[in-house]
Structure 1
Amino acid sequence: SSKHMLELADTMIDLKLPVLLVAPKSKDYSFLEEGDQVMRSETPEDMDWDDPVKNMPEPKKSGRDALFMGLGDVIFPGMLVISAVSFLPEMGPEIDYVFGTMHAGPLTVGLGTLVGGLAGYVALMTQVARGNPQAGLPLLNGGSILGYLIAGIIALGPTALWQDISFF
């Protein structure tokens, strides 16, 4: 589980730092009306610190009023998509669009990266819907990287993905 991430998110919310995306589950939810400790099911003042494990409340079936996702969970996979489209070798047919031309190879890799990230998102939301808070970055980045590698090998070949990188 990612209890330390929940505590970190709770601290960021308390400091009013814009580091979370909030997806309400109902129309009447307001993040602004939530008090402190939004990420906790029980405030620390109400807990028995002598034996906190014994007095932990049973998880509620209703769950939270909103889903929370860190901005890094969105930014890092998005950067990989943009990098794939922008910096991979220009291979494949040219495609005309509003801002000029683009090559089909890097575009295919970018779309594959996006699809991989969405597959990771589906896996993440499946776990969250079951009531298991998860660290989003491993699933989202893992899906994006797999999508990048699979689409890159298919569209450009492994040598184009390597781009003269050497470990020696």
Structure 2
Amino acid sequence: MNDRMRVLVAVGTTVLLFLGVQLGALALIEPFHESGRQAVENPQNPTNSILYFGVMLIATGLMLAAFKYDLEWLIRLLIVGVSVMISWYVFAELVPALLAPPLAAAVADALAIVVALAVGAALLLYPEWYVIDTTGVVMGAGAAALFGISFGLLPALLLLAVLAVYDAISVYGTEHMLDLAEGVMDLKIPVVLVVPMTLSYSYLADGSTDDVLEDDRETDTSAADGGTEQDIDASAADDAGALDRDALFIGLGDAVIPSILVASAAYFLEAGAISVPLIALNLPALGALVGTIAGLLVLMYMVLKGRPHAGLPLLNGGAIGGYLLGALASGLSIVTALGF
């Protein structure tokens, strides 16, 4: 497989993974609503976004501390546990819908629990890239739907804007997000999406990503300093080296966060409704979905240059821009679209 084809396949696979999260979230918002999964009493309260951001900061700090004090096993068990919980939320809606007529509801619910536990077992016993990605899509769709029905339009927009700024600061400024990424990728847990670039790639056999991250940091630092001739040569070598990698990695949060706005728009807005089987969809939600994919394509172009980049500024920016265009196209005023 030549380099051009490898790049096209990698980009196409990444787009499909993102679409899996987004379309899955759109399919789950109505079942979650009917099951009372909304996490807050007042989804229109903008302080929900502030609270979530605060919890995320605390969680990030605790994870960094865990890596510092060699408690990686605790992080792995926690993430696997969360994976089982969210998978159960998803399968509790999916399995009864598929099997309830021939099976008793109790049997269908028990089967959903068994499937969710099987997800956890697979993550612990055989976290190959396709297990990680499949679990990531299920988790991502479930999380995006849960947050989508729990965050009204204004809280969702605020959340995406704040997290985009935070992501940029944590990658280009403090760089602690790179430290976090370095730690979690070696744990082989579904907080990243793994996109193989070779047919023989095995995530299990890939011992560590430390060298990739360290090389990327050195290149990024050189570019930030203005760069000498040697720096430029090194940068060019890294650009070529990006195509020599066996896999690309992108954070699951990069797929989930913009998808929150997709789900929120589909759930809280009735204007511009589009009839599509199995999913809730309208023009604003479609705009957010398309905008996210547009941002993803730009991000992939930058990632393939061989340097780490903050994903949420592009992804959230694309989602917000696409959402606003879709809202205006559906006849909503900008004030209504912003959730006021």
Q: Give the TM bin, normalised by the shorter chain.
A: 0.7 to 0.9
Other-structure match for 1:118: 293
Task: Identify the match of residue 144 of structure 1 among 306, 319, 324.
Answer: 319
Structure 2 unaligned spans of 5+: 1-170, 215-230
- Give, in whole Å, the separation in 1 of the partners of 2:179 and 2:212: 12
1:9 deviates by 1.3
Structure 2 distance, partners of 1:16, 1:66, is 14
2:336 is matched with which residue?
Answer: 160
State the distance in 2 between where 1:23 and 1:80 align: 24
Higher mean C-alpha displacement, 111-120 vs 3-12: 3-12
Describe the superposition over 1:87-140 as per-residue Cα deviations: whole angstroms up to 9, x where unpaired: 11x235x6555469x6xxx61111111111111011101111222221111110
Specify whether residues 13 and 79 from structure 1 end up closer, same or farther in structure 2 by C-alpha distance, changes over 3 A only. Answer: same
Whole-angstrom CA distance in 1 between matches of 2:299 and 2:213:
24
Q: Which residue matches 1:62?
A: 241
Flag the structure with higher helix content: 2
Kindly tell me the number of residue pairs found equivalent between the two proteins: 146
1:79 corresponds in structure 2 to: 260
By how many angstroms is 1:147 displaced? 0.6
Q: Partners in 2 of 1:42 and 1:96 — Cα distance?
A: 44
Q: Does 1:91 align with 2:271?
A: yes
| 1:25 corresponds to | 197
Greater strand share, structure number: 1
User: Per-residue deviation at 1:40?
Assistant: 2.5
Q: Does 2:212 align with 1:41?
A: yes
Could you say if the C-alpha distance between residues 120 and 97 of structure 1 is closer, same or farther in structure 2, counting changes exceeding 3 Å? closer
Q: What is the alpha-carbon distance in structure 1 between the residues aligned to residue 319 and residue 180 of structure 2?
A: 25
Q: Which runs of 4+ in 1 moved over 4 A?
A: 94-100
Compared with structure 1, are the counterparts of its residues 4 and 65 closer, same or farther at alpha carbon in structure 2 (3 Å cutoff)? farther
Query: 2:180 and 2:205 mapped to 1: Cα distance?
Result: 20
Work out the CA distance in 2 between the residues paired with 1:83 and 1:129: 31
Q: Work out which of the residue numbers 283, 291, 306 in structure 2 matches 1:108.
A: 283
Pairwise CA RMSD of aligned residues? Answer: 2.9
Is the contact made by 1:5 and 1:135 (CA closer than 8 Å) also made in structure 2? no
Contact 2:283 2:330 in 1 (8 A): yes
* Cα offset, 1:155, TM superposition: 1.3
Q: TM-score normalised to the size of structure 1?
A: 0.73
CA distance in 1, matches of 2:210, 2:286: 34
Q: In 2 relative to 1, CA 148–13 (structure 1 residues): closer, same or farther, beyond 3 Å?
A: same
Give TM-score scaled by structure 2 length: 0.38
Q: Does the residue aligned with 2:194 lie in a helix, a strand or coil?
A: strand
Which of the pair has the greater relative contact order for Cα pairs under 8 Å at 6+ separation?
2
Alpha-carbon deviation of 1:39?
A: 4.2
Cα separation, 2, equivalents of 1:126 and 1:32: 27
Partner of 2:180: 8
